[in-house]
Amino acid sequence: MKRLTILSISALFAALFITGCASKPKAAAADSKSESKKRVIYVSENGFSKNLFEIVTQGTAERDSAFAKASEAEPVDLMAFFIAQNETTYARWYEVYTWAVEKGYKFANPGREGNNGKDGAAPTGSDLPVTMISWRDALVWCNAASEKDGLKPVYKYNGAVLKEADSAKDGEGKAENSIIDETANGYRLPTEAEWEFAARGGDPVSESWNNLFSVSNTSPDQVAWYTDNSNGTAHDVKTKAANGFGVYDMNGNVWEWCYNAWASSNQRRIMRGGSYRKPAENVTVVARDYAPVSRTYDDVGFRVVKFALSMRDAK
């Protein structure tokens, strides 16, 4: 079998939560061949999809933790993780945001319901994704949502929980200079590798793994809101078909912030998946772009992931 390699033009990824559970691989002998182990997929009652997957890395390629960057030359080994089945909705954003502000969290932007809502307004009852939030806001929100739900926040700054999306110059803010607690069970942004693994939604050795639109290699209509069918607006999450992992809207609707920096620049972060205003070629599972950590857009949102701590060494 071919080794599981994440290319810079094709990263791996997956809404309410799916577990792309790539267990922490064992070291492989220099002359060993890569192979993928048996995967078990199911959806639990609480909305989590769980996927157990083990990667054995070929040769002596080094593992750069769960936060390894996508690379054309080096494989990326994923640890077990959960990922949301859908993009974060404005209703969920607003619920956490209003709670967090009262608890001392500070955001640079209040968020918007879809692309036509009023910034910071009460939700209307839709399931539109949140937009107009920066990468910094997303990190702070993840910590706030973690604390609100009784989980351990992931992002730390100067030894304390990151609670502020400040207005510092891009690259000098608290968020982009925070560290990750890999023992925390709270919410976080996915890495590019996790995102594409979930977006592809299938077995890496199957033909469908190379589909550009999760379930199709010819048209995104089944899974994506994009220029040909969106009427120029964002749509409620989970109104298109799910991919093979039971994850929705990995193609189109809104771009999704990922954790990784663009070209090693701490000032810019990667977005994946395309949006409602992009053509078919820009809503594939390999579609990617970047933006400054402080910028907001009406077609960019995010979804969250969690470390699957108890499954990291699952066999």
Residue among 286, 272, 310, 303 nearest 142 (CA) = 303
Do 80 and 23 touch, CB atoms closer than 8 A? yes
DSSP 8-state assignment for residue 129: B
Q: What pLDDT is stored for residue 307 in this prediction? A: 86
* Residue 160 CB partners (closer than 8 Å, separation 6+): none
Beta bridge partners of 43: 49
Burial of 222 (0-12, 13-18, 19+ CB in 10 A): middle
Do 149 and 141 touch, CB atoms closer than 8 A? no
126-13-106 Cα angle (round to 5): 55
Question: What pTM, to 2 d.p., does this model score?
Answer: 0.80
Do 147 and 185 touch, CB atoms closer than 8 A? no
Task: Indicate the SS3 state at residue 43.
Answer: strand
Sign of CA dihedral 235, 299, 182, 194: positive
Amino acid at 190: P
Digitized pLDDT (tens) for each residue of the chain, 315 residues in all: 222 222 221 222 333 344 443 322 222 233 333 333 333 333 333 444 443 333 222 222 222 333 333 333 345 566 778 888 999 999 999 999 999 999 999 999 999 999 999 999 999 999 999 999 999 999 999 999 999 999 999 999 999 999 999 999 999 999 999 999 999 999 999 999 889 888 988 767 778 888 999 889 999 999 999 999 999 999 999 999 998 888 999 999 999 999 999 998 999 999 999 999 999 999 999 999 999 999 999 999 999 998 877 655 443
Which stretches within the chain are classed as H helix?
Answer: 90-102, 135-148, 192-200
Amino acid at 298: D
